Chains A and B, each alone.
Chain A
Amino acid sequence: MGWFDYVWMGILAVFQGPEMFSILGLAIPVTIVMILMGFLMGVAVGATPGLAGPMAMAVALPILISIFGFTPDALLPVMGFLLGIMKGATIGGAVPAILFNTPGTPDAFMTTLDGYPMTKAGQARKALRVAHFSSASGDTFSDIVLIFCAPFLAVVVERYLDLPEKTALLILSLAFIAAVIGGSVGKGLISLGLGLLAAYVGTGEDFYPRLSMGSQTLAQGFPIAAVVLGVLILGEVFKSIEELWQENRKSGALAVVEQSGDQRLHWADIKRLLPYISRSAVIGTAIGALPGIGSTLAATLGYTTGRAAHARKGRSPAFGQGAPEGIAATEAANSSVSGANLIPVLSLGIPGNAAAVFLILAADSIGGFNPGPSVFRFTGDQVNPEMVIAFGLFTCMMIANLLNWTIGGAFMRSMGFMSRIPKHILLPVVLLLTLTSIYVQETRMVAIWFTIGFGVLGYLMRRLGISPLPFVIAYILGGKLEESARQAFAATGGDAWFLFSSSVSIAFMALTVLVVTLSLRKPKEART
């Protein structure tokens, strides 16, 4: 079995999977329908200020698992749907940013700078077309990089890294995430430590589940969905409702601007935009490949770099005054993060952002697919089903890109009305949806209390400027880190210095210290 056999089997797994229905005798596979539905839902969610892709993923996951069950056949439809949401939300975020000066997602903030001035100048539809073209280009580029990089990176990791090196790599990744997310290394480390601590409650190798305080409820540990959804989703919902409560709703009458002039995107426009899109796609992909660095930074860097190039050329209008190049630079950068963000997930098993966390959660809930280097392991003549799923996922991503290129633009432009749904009505519904979906999965009231408890923790962390993402990533990786350290310790014959047993692991540990030390030099406050 070679690479091409697996690529082909991955494609077939999508196209020859279970049939949803047939049109004129042509079978329509369920995975493709799920990608389409996820994509459309993602665009709608992204176009709604106050909602985000991960929220939709959180709410959809229990429903999807109920529909498809816990069989290997469920993996591609469920993960295809989630990938669709991820991609749809990426382009949807530009809609309210351009039409109403309200970014649907944080990474679309820079889009408002030129998008809204274009709307005010009567060029809203053209601005949306520029955003869609740039976003789809950046996303497709980043997926291609993912498809070529992740398998080879995974093979390198499997071939050259032994247990001590893998443990050191996990420590380096966690330190990197703690150091770069949010801008405060101290707060990142607190978040990381809390996440690890939560992961170790009710687990361990001894008969007595550690840190359970003798309670049967804690002895089972915290349900993963309660922790992830509580900290990531409820924490954000609590904070947003409080902000609305404190603002007491400012009046939001929207001025309607007459749209006029040529709204189409011509080849000459595309030629002018391509350098900006290419530059930003490379920036976004490079940033996305590093775990923990979000699309907001990519958008900022893409915009700043594009603005410098634009100023050198002396083109008009300038960035910030309605330049289509500004929208292109931002949207290409933030969209190219999404594919590249899956490089550390698929090659190392390390989630780099909230969307990746939900993909891991789905894989963990369904079973049969453990993202990490072992996914791309060749098993002689026997088929490695995980590698088939991985290439199936790549196929899903390319189908989502195809949908993005074909129907994405029109659907995105029709979603302007979503921006008008008041946030204070939407957020309590999201809260209820999240808590109900937790109960449906866990079927015990205590899971709801855990989720609310972790929601309070997420809220307090946000209020204190502590990013919740290191917490969630550490919670997910905590068990893996301990297991890997136990195995490495045993394999080296109980060597306490196993993390310094080879030049590679020493290099990883040195990098860990370097990352933390360098981050200490410029403490800033978190944006969350």
Chain B
Amino acid sequence: MRSFERANLILGLGAVGMAVLVACVWVPADVTTGMIEKVRRQITIGDALAPTLAAGFIGFGGLIVAVFERPENARRISARNLQFLAIFLIIVAIGFAVMRWLGPAVAGLLTDQGYRALRDTAPWKYIGFLVGAAGIVAALIGLVEGRLTLRGILVGLAAAIGLIVVYDLPFEDLLLPPNGDV
């Protein structure tokens, strides 16, 4: 079987499998009412019907893809796609981890109050966001360019400062990440 034929077959069967799992395992286990309920002698639609129908759409679509749709230009996910996705997600995860923990770590080291008391006070409230956000932008630009550049770092810093100017300075009620969580 040629690879393009296999691509849609795998996608279609995967969708059918997912639909079966949703309808036969997830919905019965995680929805407390049935598809049709009798409440005070009145028949009503229960909470299980809609997600089961959604699963039906996924399964029906999967069946159509697996049986009828095998064009030569069928798309598929390659190992290179997954490699990119993994690198991309690692960059974003590290960036947000820095954003989340850098401010509290620096405040913990340099002050007695802790970050929570300072989370609405400059410069503490900007530390994590500035470094994490600039880092994400610089790393992603570096990913495409093949190396980390000063231009990438400057663009990242400019973007982070721009967001502080747009969201934080004019509005007292808006919180930049991670200040709503700490």
Binary contact track A248-271/B, C-beta < 8 Å → 1, others 0: 110000000000000000000000
Q: State whether A196 touches B54 (Cβ < 8 A).
A: yes
- Given A196-B54, A436-B167, is A210 in contact with B30 using a C-beta cutoff of 8 Å? yes
Q: How far is the CA of A170 from the CA of B30 in the complex (A)?
A: 27
Q: Is the CB of B137 within 8 A of A463?
A: no
Q: How far is the CA of A429 from the CA of B43 in the complex (A)?
A: 53
The answer to whether A206 and B57 touch (CB under 8 A), given A445-B96, A445-B100, is no
Q: Are A452 and B144 in contact (CB under 8 A)?
A: no
Bound Cα distance from A481 to B49, whole angstroms:
12
The answer to whether A428 touches B32, judged by C-beta atoms less than 8 angstroms apart, is no
Expressed in whole angstroms, the Cα–Cα distance for A524 and B57 within the complex equals: 19
B131 at the interface (CB under 8 A from A): no
Q: A184-B65, A189-B61 are in contact. Are A429 and B30 (CB under 8 A)?
A: no
Would B65 and A424 count as touching, CB distance under 8 A? Answer: no
A523, B69: Cβ atoms closer than 8 Å: yes
Q: Which residues of B contact A482 (CB under 8 A)?
A: 45, 49-50
Question: What separation, in Å, do the CA atoms of A456 and B73 have in the docked complex?
Answer: 22
Q: Are B65 and A187 in contact (CB under 8 A)?
A: yes
With a CB–CB cut-off of 8 A, which chain A residues contact B143? 241, 245
**Prevailing SS type, chain A contact patch:** helix
Residues on B with C-beta less than 8 A from A368 are: none
Contact among A424, A439, A444 with B176 in the assembled complex (CB-CB below 8 Å): A439
- Taking CB atoms, residues of chain A closer than 8 Å to B167 are 62-63, 66, 436-437, 440
Do B31 and A211 touch across chains, with their CB atoms under 8 A apart? Answer: yes
- For chain B, residues 47 to 82, give those with C-beta under 8 angstroms from any C-beta of chain A: 47-51, 53-66, 68-69, 71, 73-77, 80-81
A39 and B144 CA atoms in complex are apart in Å by 32
Within 8 A of B (CB), among A174-196: 178, 184-194, 196
Once A197-B55, A456-B85 are accepted as A-B contacts, the answer to whether A432 and B69 lie under 8 Å apart by CB is no
In the assembled complex, B92 has its CB within 8 A of some CB on chain A: yes
A463: chain B residues at CB < 8 Å are: 75-77, 81
* B141 at the binding interface (Cβ < 8 Å): yes
Which residue of B has the minimal Cβ distance to A493?
B43
Closest CB of chain A to B61's CB: distance in Å? 3
Q: B107: CB under 8 A from chain A?
A: no
User: Which of B62, B66, B173 touches A66 (beta carbons < 8 Å)?
Assistant: B173
In Å, the complex CA distance between A238 and B159 comes to 18
**Are B32 and A439 in contact, CB atoms less than 8 angstroms apart?**
no
- Residue contact B45 to A486, C-beta cutoff 8 Å: yes
Q: Given A197-B58, A464-B75, answer yes or no on A248-B177 (Cβ-Cβ < 8 Å).
A: no
Instruction: Say whether A432 contacts B32, CB under 8 Å.
Output: no
- The reply on B123 being an interface residue by CB < 8 A is no
The residue that A241 contacts in the complex, of B50, B69, B133, B144, with Cβ under 8 A, is B144
B145 at the interface (CB under 8 A from A): yes
A478 CA / B80 CA spacing, docked (Å): 35
Contact in complex: B68, A448 (CB < 8 Å): no
Over the window 409-450 of chain A, the binary record of Cβ atoms lying under 8 Å from chain B Cβ atoms (1 yes, 0 no) is 000000000000000110111011101110110011100100
Q: How many A-B residue pairs have CB under 8 A?
A: 220
Which A446-490 residues have C-beta < 8 A from chain B? Answer: 448, 452, 456, 459-460, 463-465, 478, 481-482, 485-486, 489-490
A208 interfacial contact with B, CB 8 Å: yes
Residue with the highest number of chain A CB atoms closer than 10 Å, among B22, B36, B51, B167: B51
Contact of B51 among A185, A197, A436, A524 (CB under 8 A): A197
> Given A439-B176, A525-B74, do A193 and B136 touch, yes or no (CB 8 Å)?
no
* Interchain CA distance A464-B33 in the complex, whole Å: 35
B20 within 8 Å of A (CB atoms)? no
**B26 engages A211 (CB within 8 Å):** yes
Q: CB distance A197 to B136 under 8 Å? A: no
* Given A460-B77, A490-B44: A212 in contact with B177 (beta carbons within 8 A): no
Check B136–A465 contact: CB distance below 8 A.
no
Q: Determine the distance from Cα of A432 to Cα of B65 in the docked complex, in whole angstroms.
A: 35
Alpha-carbon separation in the docked complex, A489 to B37 (Å): 12
Q: A481 — which chain B residues lie within 8 A by C-beta?
A: 50
Contacts of A194 in B (CB 8 A): 54, 58
Is B102 located at the chain interface by the 8 A CB criterion? Answer: no
Contacts of A212 in B (CB 8 A): 30
State how many angstroms separate the Cβ of A69 from the closest Cβ of chain B: 10
Question: Can you name the residue of chain B whose Cβ is closest to the Cβ of A488?
Answer: B45
Q: With an 8 A cutoff between CB atoms, is A526 at the interface?
A: yes
Contact across chains for A448 and B30 when beta carbons are under 8 A apart: no
A45 to B69, CA, bound (A): 37
B112 at the interface (CB under 8 A from A): no
CB–CB B176/A245 < 8 A: no
Point out the residue from A66, A192, A464 that lies within 8 Å of B57, measured CB to CB: A192
B144 contacts A245, C-beta separation under 8 Å: yes
Measured in the bound complex, the distance between the Cα atoms of B77 and A245 in whole Å is 16
Chain A residues near B33 (CB-CB < 8 A): 204-206
| B136 and A428 contacting across the interface, CB-CB below 8 Å | yes
Whether A241 contacts B68 by the Cβ 8 Å rule is no
**Contact (A464, B11) CB under 8 Å given A245-B144, A436-B133, A520-B64:** yes
Q: A189-B58, A490-B42 are in contact. Are A424 and B145 (CB under 8 A)?
A: yes
| B10 and chain A: residue at smallest CB distance | A464
Complex Cα gap A185–B64 (Å) = 8
Q: Is the CB of A428 within 8 A of B140?
A: yes
CA distance A429 to B76 in the complex (A): 28
Say if the beta carbon of B12 comes within 8 Å of chain A. Answer: yes
State whether the Cβ of A242 lies closer than 8 Å to any Cβ in chain B: yes
Distance between B110 CB and nearest chain A CB, rounded to angstroms: 23
| Contact B42–A452 (Cβ < 8 Å) | no
- Determine the chain A residues whose CB is within 8 A of the CB of B48 once the complex forms: 210
Which of B19, B46, B177 sits near A436, CB closer than 8 Å?
B177
> Chain B residues with Cβ under 8 A from A190's Cβ?
11, 15, 57-58, 61-62, 65
Interface residues of A in 498-528 (CB under 8 A from B): 520, 523-526
Instruction: Offer 27 A-B interface pairs, CB within 8 angstroms, sorted by A.
Output: A62-B167, A63-B166, A178-B57, A186-B12, A189-B58, A193-B58, A193-B60, A196-B50, A197-B58, A213-B30, A238-B85, A424-B144, A428-B155, A429-B159, A436-B177, A439-B176, A440-B174, A440-B175, A445-B177, A448-B96, A465-B74, A482-B49, A485-B45, A489-B44, A489-B45, A523-B69, A525-B71
Query: 13 more A-B contacts (CB under 8 A) besides A436-B167, A524-B71?
Result: A178-B57, A184-B69, A186-B62, A190-B65, A196-B50, A196-B51, A196-B57, A208-B31, A210-B48, A241-B88, A245-B144, A440-B174, A478-B54
The list of the 6 closest CB pairs from A to B, nearest first, reads: A189-B61, A193-B57, A186-B64, A443-B180, A193-B58, A494-B43
